[in-house]
Structure 1
Amino acid sequence: MRSLVGLIAVVATASLYLYSLSLYLPAAPRRRPHPAADRKHVETEVSTDSSEEPSSRLKFPSDLEELRELAELLQFYKTEHTGYVLLLFCSAYLYKQSFAIPGSSFLNILAGAIFGPYQGLLLASVLTTVGSTMCYLLSQAFGKRYIVTLFPDKVSMLQRKVGENQDCLLFFLLFLRFFPMTPNWFLNMSAPIVNIPITFFFCSVFIGLLPYNFICVQTGVMLSEVASLDDLFSWERLLQLLAIACMALLPGALIRHFSQKRLKLDVQTQNGLITDKKVQ
């Protein structure tokens, strides 16, 4: 009971902090007037936009349309309030990752749209790793009994696989990130239960999710640059997508080649999914 109360207190505190941070939204920066003949119309439009930027629009995106609107809003604030936007983005990302809330892919795309390909990838990779580690620590402190009760079969299977691959545990964890036998959120929560060292866990998250973060961030960069379908299906964009796919698939191919020789998985691939191989 004490662990449940502690977890509720942590969630409530983090939620209150994030809500308070969204309330203290700085005043919107003034947009430069467009070089149009009707200056009065432009000034009226700018003042109206500035007064109608409610803080309620700062919410987690649930689809690409909301994601694009949020990216435009944060880009608008970033010009004069870079520190606030960075703090808000990092806080929201760590909140979702720490409490295993789905939707981190949208925030990775948002990182690319706001911060660009290099800073966005660095931010996404660091925040993914730190947030997953916080989830690991929260599970270790509060959630062990509940996770075992809710997912006894999955925990037992993962514990058996970890025991069988102790001699190459880091590569086994990398394999799980590239070709997940279980969802990432479950692996984050169950890792302390099956005695995965936090150092191995930290390294496997940072390295293993790099290709995924890279694809999402590059998608965000293209989303911020594409203005029409013609731009999306240009030869430049298609070649860029091909290069992104090749770079993202290469680490997974190397890990899979190693796993076939060293790891004890007892799994088989069916239509790209990893499933347990049934013993006859």
Structure 2
Amino acid sequence: MRSLVGLVVVVTAASLYLYSLSLYLPAGPRRRPPRSAETEHVDKTESEQTDTSEEPSSLKFPSDLEELRELAELLQFYKTEHTGYVLLLFCSAYLYKQSFAIPGSSFLNILAGAIFGPYEGLLLACVLTTVGSTMCYLLSQAFGKRYIVNLFPDKVSMLQRKVEENQDCLFFFLLFLRFFPMTPNWFLNMSAPIVNIPITFFFCSVFIGLLPYNFICVQTGVMLSEVSSLDDLFSWERLLQLLAIACMALMPGALIRRFSQKRLKLDVQAQNGLIADKKVQ
């Protein structure tokens, strides 16, 4: 009970911090509300008054590509005058999602590329993914061990067995799980302290293992900010760029798979309890 109360206190404090940070949103572009048939017949004076009552843009976590594009445009506008605020807000929102295992961090990786560019965006995504996952590890270690074991007994026991079988090459086993997830990343983050994975191995495996995934997301965000039409997206230049991105992202995974066939002890089956699932951050 004490651990549950502690977790609620941490989540509440983090939520209040993120909310208070959003209250300091600088003045930005204002979006005009949809016009009805009646507003088409107002005179010029009334229309000017309507312009002054436009709804200000608001911040929220994106749930689809359209919302992601709107948010990217809004934060790009803020970044020109309020770089420090945008950076602090982005880092805080990313760590909030990652620390509490809230799905949707892939959208934030794409947003990093759209706002900060290919190099700064990639570095930011990798650092925030690693720090956020480590915070999730520490929160699970402090508050969630009993609850995770009770909720996912089969998965935890299977992961524990695999960790013990691959103890002599544990770091490469963790890399394999990141490149070819037999279980979602959020579950691996929360269960790692339960199965006695050292935090140093965990930290390094997250940074290296999710680098290709972050690279793809960031590059997608860069293209999202540059593409204005479908013709631009399917141009030869874009297609070659996508091919190069895919090759660079798949190369580390191919090396890890080759190593795993020789050294790692894996028997990936659906009934193992480690269900092949879509990568979720």
CA-CA distance at 1:225 after TM superposition:
0.2
Query: Kindly, what percent of the aligned residue pairs are identical?
Result: 91
For residues 57-94 of structure 1, give each alpha carbon's deviation from its aligned partner in whole angstroms, at most 9, with x where no partner exists: x0000000000000000001110000000000000000
CA 1:274–1:35 in 2, change beyond 3 Å: closer, same or farther? closer
For residues 39-70 of structure 1, give each alpha carbon's deviation from its aligned partner in whole angstroms, at most 9, with x where no partner exists: 9999999x9989746363x0000000000000
The 5-angstrom pairing of residues 36-185 of structure 1 reads 52=54, 54=56, 56=58, 58-185=59-186
CA contact (8 A) 2:31 2:54 kept: no
Secondary structure in 1 aligned to 2:262? helix
Secondary structure in 1 aligned to 2:195? coil
Structure 2 unpaired stretches of 5+: none
Of residues 269-278 and 89-98 in structure 1, the stretch that sits farther from structure 2 once superposed is: 269-278
CA contact (8 A) 2:158 2:272 kept: no
- Cα-Cα RMSD: 5.8
Question: Normalised by the size of structure 1, how large is the TM-score?
Answer: 0.88
CA-CA distance at 1:23 after TM superposition:
1.1
CA contact (8 A) 1:177 1:184 kept: yes
CA-CA distance at 1:145 after TM superposition:
0.2
CA 1:26–1:279 in 2, change beyond 3 Å: closer, same or farther? closer
CA-CA distance at 1:232 after TM superposition:
0.4
Q: How many residues align?
A: 278
Take 1:69 and 1:130, find their aligned partners in 2: how far apart are those partners?
27
CA 1:95–1:276 in 2, change beyond 3 Å: closer, same or farther? closer
CA contact (8 A) 1:98 1:135 kept: yes
Secondary structure in 1 aligned to 2:111? helix
For residues 146-180 of structure 1, give each alpha carbon's deviation from its aligned partner in whole angstroms, at most 9, with x where no partner exists: 00000000000000000000000000000000001
Take 1:139 and 1:73, find their aligned partners in 2: how far apart are those partners?
35
Take 2:18 and 2:280, find their aligned partners in 1: how far apart are those partners?
49
CA 1:191–1:87 in 2, change beyond 3 Å: closer, same or farther? same
Take 2:47 and 2:141, find their aligned partners in 1: how far apart are those partners?
55
For residues 192-238 of structure 1, give each alpha carbon's deviation from its aligned partner in whole angstroms, at most 9, with x where no partner exists: 00000000000000000000000000000000000011100100000
CA-CA distance at 1:99 after TM superposition:
0.1
CA contact (8 A) 2:183 2:277 kept: no
Of residues 186-195 and 268-277 in structure 1, the stretch that sits farther from structure 2 once superposed is: 268-277
CA contact (8 A) 1:22 1:55 kept: no
Secondary structure in 2 aligned to 1:95? helix
CA 1:240–1:49 in 2, change beyond 3 Å: closer, same or farther? farther
